[in-house]
Amino acid sequence: MRSARLALAFTLTTACAMGSRPPSGPPGRAVVAHVVDGDTIDVTIGGHRERVRLLGINTPEVVDPRKPVECYGPEASALTKKLLSPGTEVRLVRDVEPRDDYGRLLAYVYREPDGLFVNLDLVVQGAAVLLTFRPNTSHAVEFATAAAAAQRAHRGLWAVCRGNP
């Protein structure tokens, strides 16, 4: 828990020091093809498939063969599958860096037509924690505030995971 609080404090400090800026680049329309886990989805864009990593958040691990399934991982994945079932139209908004070291598209994901900000909703429901890498910090303060509220309310992983959520 202490490490989670320190990470939250560091991210808040970094985000506040950098200031908020709007995400760069135009939004992209896509259709969900498959939910990989709580924070990674496959989408179809313009007829081809892309793997998308949801920016600013991290959900407990369930698919990495090198790691055990983490506390609340299956629940986080199930929630993402509920929010983004195959065929769901989404709007992808990028930040500064378009891809990670694994070649995944980095994006804030908004469900259409209701506009649900999926990354934020996962944090609000306690299925995800804050994970910010500069320069992709457009929503860091918003996510940090939601994570602190979820932790205080003992929602999701904050209610069932001991130690390191």
Region 67-74 average pLDDT: 93
Catalytically active residues are 53, 61, 104
> Which fold, 2-160?
OB fold (Dihydrolipoamide Acetyltransferase, E2P) (2.40.50)
> pTM for the complete prediction?
0.82
Q: What is the pLDDT of residue 157?
A: 96
CA–CA dist 30, 63 (Å, integer): 23
Q: Tell me the CA end-to-end span of the chain in Å, nearest whole number.
A: 7
Tell me what the pLDDT averaged over the chain comes to: 85
Give residue limits of the domains in the chain: 2-160
- Asked whether 150 and 159 are in contact (CB, 8 A), the reply is no
CA–CA dist 31, 99 (Å, integer): 19
Q: What is the pLDDT of residue 1?
A: 43
Residues 6+ apart with CB under 8 A from 151: 4, 126, 158
CA–CA dist 72, 3 (Å, integer): 18
Q: pLDDT tens digits, residue range 16-67?
A: 333 333 334 445 899 999 999 999 999 999 899 999 999 999 999 998 888 8
